[in-house]
Structure 1
Amino acid sequence: MSSQVSARVVRLLNMVPYFQANPRVTRDEAAAALGVSRKQLDADLEQLWMCGLPADGPGDLIDFDFVGDTVEVTFSAGVDHPLRLTSPEATVILTALRSIVDVPGVVDPEAARSAIAKIESAAGSQRAAVEESVPEEPGAAAAVRAAVRARRAATLDYYSASRDSLTTRTVDPIRVVLIGDNSYLEAWCRTAEGVRLFRFDRIVAATVLDEASMPPPPAVQAGADTSLFSPETADPSLPSATLLIDASAAWMFDYYPLRVVHELPGGACEAAMTYASDEWMARFVLGFGSAVQVLAPESLARRVRDAAGDALRAYDDVAADE
């Protein structure tokens, strides 16, 4: 909770200078620029409107002028400049940027180079090592970003973890979105005839085609729809498993499409996960040992128990032979 409060305080302190630099900006434009939802922006504006010096009157409060859907600062109460990074903070951010650029697909290398250069410049560091500090992105991820920038269609060789299969499909790229710690290509899939999200580290190969990307206009105008990734909106024809996940395996939520059903004392929780193949799901669960148990369906739980029993008997047989 404290980290959420701290993040909001930082955002609030930076919002007033933003609105001063962008008079009469619309709420939707501001929300997009600040990386928050419209609902959160409205809540932040309401909070800021009541900020000021203690024990003083309304004249000392931060004040806004709302005309239609636009926002303009009429009194800043001295909050005139964005927060500045201290040397330790700049060092931490630079270290984090240089570490995540080594992970394929997480960030756009060009954006990372620009950010590193700006931070080093502001911190008084030399820019000479910027190009060397950010490696080139692997071929598949680089091709995907190139297709998005050039607005070209592309073919993808994509590994689906839930189906344990590799497929080739032609897509019309829309945009690159970041969900959690992973980058995804949002694109119109010509095979599925719908918008799909393709996780960067599961794109085995990508080829930019010599034809324009032409996703249906409604798909582009709708904005990034991360609900496509959510288990709640998965294909209803696919089965869903209820898993008991120990606190030691909580990191799974960063890598797999899991939905928390019920939180338990000690950090454990029950979670739901949609899957396509019983065989794949059984192997998936067995890989986590005792940290993950199948609560439902019973057929999947029985399959996991049988596979674990077969493995133990095989181990005992080998040990007896030795």
Structure 2
Amino acid sequence: MSASRTERLLNLLIALLNTRYGLRRSELRETVYRTVTGNDVAFGRMFERDKNDLRQFGFDVETLTDLGWSEDDPATTRYRIGKESNRLPDVQFSPDEWTVLLLASQLWERAALGTAARSAMRKLQAAGQMADIKLPAGVQPRIKPAGQAFDDLVAAMHTRHPVSFGYRAASTGQEERRTVEPWGLGSRFGQWYLIGFDRARQAARHFRLSRLTSSVETLAREQYTPPADFNIRQELDLLPELPRRTAVVDVRTGRLLSLRQRAVTNDVDHPAGPDADYERLALAYRDPEVLAEELASYGPDAVAVAPPELAEAVQRRLRAAADFSAAPVPLFTLSGARSRQDRAGTAEDQLKRMLQLVPFLVHNQGLHIQEVARHFGISRQELEADLRILICSGLPGGYPDDLLDIQWEDDHVFISQDLDLNRPVRFTVEEACALLAGLETLNGLPELAGGGALESVTLKLMAAAGEAGLRAGSLAGPAMAPADAGVHTTVRDAISSGSQLHLTYLSPQRDTVSERDVDPLRLFSLDDTWYFEAYCHLVDGLRNFRLDRVQDLRPTGTSISTDATALVAGSGRMFAANDGDTSVTVQLTGQGRGLADEYHAARTAELPDGGLVAEIQFGNTAWLPMFVAQHGGQARILAPAGLADAAREWLAASLARYGG
């Protein structure tokens, strides 16, 4: 969408909002479309596209006809937009409710619905400033990015388009092409599932996203209607948990402490392997694909012996990673990366932002222009571009009193003419889903247990969202309750009181157990896996620690240092770049491209096949061969050459343990 089209759509919207009886096509062409060239047929197609765009932004374009005449007659057909039906109802929240809303919106920060959640929050804030929020001390729950397939399925589900993808069935292990009408997405047993109507089997089926073997193809020319009473959480509750089974794994002597600690017994029915450097262990597991992903990352240090489907799953991942690593390197040119949260850079997104900007300025007169830009997550230059388009938009005729009147010459922004854009437009389905699914996900958060704010804000939001809120039942986030409740409580209390902790910690990457004193600064989660960020006095720097790898934790009786609290102000990432980190160029497939967001790629390059080349900063590069093996053909290292060679050697040695 070009800037001229953005301005045209704004003018069309304002014209249709400010007419009581409606406007005919001829009137719109003489005013809003007066600078557009082309014949009546071309104009008609453009007008229909513009109407569809306005509907996608949340505005219902009504069609009115003179009595006794047909809509097919342009001379007797008029168009308008109702002023109330398209607007978000006024809703007031208490400080506790704002706290819950902010936590719910932040859940999706690195996930697919992050942009929609921030947009919904801006709409709620447009009628006035958000109350002073005091979030739980250092607590930041997050939903882990579920990959590109999740993004594509959410988009298809909300636009009600069928999808097609390759899928490896758990029952047969065979890969098939599936065509599915996506009804809902949800997290269960630590995995994301799609539930929908399988056209080939003519029945509802569930699909685990990690078993998809191809990118998701959206059938944009087709539509479907999901069941009216569908609720994803109810469907997920019906999914049976996989039975507990035992795997036999040979582990290199003295390696993989974390795996050894999970061994159920060393007394296994299988005879010991021929290699004296390995020990045979028995491991409990439920899903062979989940265990295969982990074992593949360990490379030659772990060999799956039984059952056969587990060994085959590990080999399949290693072969795919080796084949991808050996493929020709594509041509690419790296440029500045856009993360999922700031990817809203198209002209279409600019128009959506401007429709939020006007009511925000109406209710927040005189804000400094930098403060307005910060609130919308854009630069001052981008904001001024928005304002310049706005002040050129208005009612047909273009007289001074018919235009939006916005001034910012003294760096403080004032608006005196809003042309009925002074209230935010109603929620889109994505915005309603992002907040309502986020609120439901927070049910297990200990900090909110027993409070009434979560229930009350959910009821208010459901009422404000209307029909879009009813469709929020198609999305269900993961459980947020930490498995290590005691460790979670100890860390949270230490953050609140500013107390230092003594930590005994198992590091799988270094394969060591160490003791250290740490200053805990914040708790955060990715789904139900919880971490805490702390200043580690052993390494004199910030580090992240997984709660389920903490072997012992106790207060030292010492307060944390003020220097540590200053350091955390600029953090907030799971993987943060530091001075001295190694710049690694990674190629990702269409399925794996979400890793560029997860690891905060500095630069990226799009590839013709839907894949991506990403430049990522890594502090510790020794584990990168494990990273390549774990992702089984979705990621490979291109540079530095030494790291690429190390990964290929790791994969070759891993496959050699299975006979080549």
TM more than 0.5: yes
Using the alignment, how far apart are the partners of 1:289 and 1:60 within structure 2? Answer: 60
CA 1:157–1:69 in 2, change beyond 3 Å: closer, same or farther?
farther
Q: What one-letter code is carried by the residue in structure 1 that aligns with 2:414?
A: E
CA 1:8–1:295 in 2, change beyond 3 Å: closer, same or farther?
same
Aligned pairs for 1:152-163 (under 5 A) are 152-153=498-499, 155=501
Show the counterpart of 2:372: 30
1:271 aligns with 2:619: no
| Contact 2:441/2:479 (8 A) holds in 1 | no
Using the alignment, how far apart are the partners of 1:271 and 1:208 within structure 2? Answer: 41
Structure 1 residue 253 displacement after superposition: 1.9
Match of 1:170 among 506, 518, 523: 518
Structure 1 unaligned regions, length at least 5: 126-132, 318-322
RMSD (CA atoms): 5.0
Match of 2:426 among 57, 81, 84: 84
Structure 1 residue 250 displacement after superposition: 0.9
Structure 1 residue 71 displacement after superposition: 1.7
Match of 2:647 among 299, 304, 313: 304
Q: What one-letter code is carried by the residue in structure 2 that aligns with 1:282?
A: P
| Contact 1:27/1:38 (8 A) holds in 2 | yes
Show the counterpart of 2:236: none
Show the counterpart of 1:293: 636
Show the counterpart of 2:462: 120
Show the counterpart of 1:256: 599
Using the alignment, how far apart are the partners of 2:616 and 2:448 within structure 1? Answer: 30
Structure 1 residue 256 displacement after superposition: 2.6
Show the counterpart of 1:281: 624
Instruction: Classify the secondary structure of the residue corresponding to 1:294.
Output: strand
Using the alignment, how far apart are the partners of 1:223 and 1:95 within structure 2? Answer: 29
Match of 1:235 among 566, 579, 582: 579
Q: Deviations over 1:112-161 (max 9, x none)?
A: 76753431243579xxxxxxx9976434667767766x473554888889
Match of 1:97 among 410, 431, 438: 438
**Larger helix percent:** 1
The structure whose RCO (Cα within 8 Å, separation 6+) is larger is 2
1:246 aligns with 2:592: no
| Contact 1:27/1:69 (8 A) holds in 2 | yes
Match of 2:383 among 41, 44, 50: 41
Instruction: Classify the secondary structure of the residue corresponding to 1:290.
Output: coil
Instruction: Classify the secondary structure of the residue corresponding to 1:23.
Output: coil
Instruction: Classify the secondary structure of the residue corresponding to 1:84.
Output: coil
CA 1:210–1:36 in 2, change beyond 3 Å: closer, same or farther?
farther
Aligned pairs for 1:131-210 (under 5 A) are 137-138=481-482, 139=485, 150=496, 152-153=498-499, 155=501, 168=516, 170-171=518-519, 173=521, 196=542, 198=544
CA 1:262–1:31 in 2, change beyond 3 Å: closer, same or farther?
closer
Show the counterpart of 2:412: 70
| Contact 1:247/1:267 (8 A) holds in 2 | yes
Using the alignment, how far apart are the partners of 1:165 and 1:49 within structure 2? Answer: 62
Match of 2:361 among 12, 16, 19: 19
Show the counterpart of 2:352: 10
Q: Deviations over 1:148-197 (max 9, x none)?
A: 6x473554888889878787553374x88999xx9998876666666x58
Count of paired positions: 299
CA 1:191–1:313 in 2, change beyond 3 Å: closer, same or farther?
closer
Match of 1:56 among 395, 398, 419: 398
CA 1:42–1:258 in 2, change beyond 3 Å: closer, same or farther?
same
CA 1:186–1:23 in 2, change beyond 3 Å: closer, same or farther?
farther
| TM-score relative to the length of structure 1 | 0.66
Using the alignment, how far apart are the partners of 2:506 and 2:456 within structure 1? Answer: 31
Greater displacement, 308-317 / 30-39: 30-39
Identity percentage of aligned residues: 26
Using the alignment, how far apart are the partners of 1:171 and 1:279 within structure 2? Answer: 26
Instruction: Classify the secondary structure of the residue corresponding to 2:623.
Output: helix
Using the alignment, how far apart are the partners of 1:21 and 1:215 within structure 2? Answer: 38
Using the alignment, how far apart are the partners of 2:547 and 2:634 within structure 1? Answer: 25
Q: Deviations over 1:235-270 (max 9, x none)?
A: 32x433322222221121233343444332212233
